[in-house]
Amino acid sequence: MTGKTKIIRKPSPWPILIGALGWAIVCLILPMIQLWHYLIALLIGGITYFIARKQIPDQEIEVEVPLTPLEQQQQAQLEAARSALTGLQQAAAKIDDPAMTQDLRKIDSVCRQIVEEMEQRQRFNDQARRLVDYYLPMLTKLLLNYDELEADPLQTQNIQNSRENIKKTVKLCAEAFVKQWDDLHEHQSMEIQADSDVLETLLVKQGLVSPSFKEGRE
C-alpha cells in the first residue's frame, strides 16, 4: 500500500565542490610554503563556498513515509468505500424507473459526501463503516436483482411483487441515508451552537450588543 510522501531539503553538493575548486586554484597560484599561503587558500575556499551556498538552492526530494497501522486501516476503509460507491453507481445506471432513479440520486449524493468527508477528515465512525460494509453492498445487490427481474419476459406476479418490494426498499434507504448524513453532523451542529451562545453572551456582557439581541435569537 502506498504511503504518504513528504518533501525534505538536502543541501546541494555544488557549494562544497566550488569551495574546493577555489582552494585548489589558490594552491596552484601560491607556492604553499608559508602559513599565510594556507590561510589565504582557506579564506578563498570559504568565501567561494558561502557565495555558492547562497546562490545554489537546496535540493528538494520527495520521500515516501510509511503509513502507520491505523492509517493503513483507514486507507483500506476509504478504498472499500470508493469501491462500494462505484458498484452502486454502476448498478443504479441500469435502472429505468423514474421514481427509483430519483431516490438513487439522493443516495448517491449522500454517499459521495460521506466518502469525501472520510477522505478529507479521516473520520471513520461506526455509521460510516456500516454504510460501506453493509448498506451499500446490500443495496447494490438489490439493484442488480431488480435489473434481472425487469428483464424477465414473463413478469409473473411474484416477479412484480419482488420489484415493488425493491422499489420500497430503495425509497426507504434514500430517507435513511439522508438522516444518517444529518446524524453525522449532529455533534458538529451542537458545538457550533455552543460556541455561538458563548460569543453572544460575551458580546452582551461587554455592552457591544443589547441584551434584546440575544433574547430575540432565543
Inform me whether the pLDDT recorded for 217 exceeds 60.
no
Residue 200 is predicted with a pLDDT of 82
pLDDT average, residue stretch 31-43: 91
Q: Judge contact between 44 and 22, C-beta under 8 A.
A: yes
Residue 189 is predicted with a pLDDT of 73
Q: Average per-residue pLDDT in the chain? A: 86
Residue 124 is predicted with a pLDDT of 63
Least confident of 21-25, 67-71, 97-101: 67-71
Residue 130 is predicted with a pLDDT of 81
Give the long-range contacts of residues 8-14, CB within 8 A, separation 24 or more: 8/60, 8/61, 8/63, 9/58, 9/59, 9/60, 9/61, 10/58, 10/59, 10/60, 10/61, 11/53, 11/58, 11/59, 12/56, 12/57, 12/58, 12/59, 14/52, 14/56
The predicted-structure confidence for 47-76, as pLDDT tens digits, reads as follows 999 999 899 988 888 888 887 887 788 788
The predicted-structure confidence for 148-205, as pLDDT tens digits, reads as follows 999 999 999 999 999 999 999 999 999 988 888 887 777 667 778 888 888 888 888 8
Element (H, E) at 22: helix 14-29
Inform me whether the pLDDT recorded for 79 exceeds 90.
no
pLDDT average, residue stretch 78-97: 92
User: Which three three-digit cell numbers place residue 110?
Assistant: 449522500
Enter the DSSP assignment of 61: E
Least confident of 89-98, 114-123, 144-153: 114-123
Say if pTM beats, i.e. exceeds, 0.85: no
Least confident of 75-84, 102-111, 141-150: 75-84
pLDDT average, residue stretch 33-54: 92
Query: What is the distance between the alpha carbons of residues 14 and 59, in angstroms, rounded to a whole number?
Result: 11
Domains, the chain, ordered by start: 4-65 (no CATH), 69-184 (1.20.120)
Percent of the residues in the chain that have a pLDDT greater than 70, as a whole number: 92
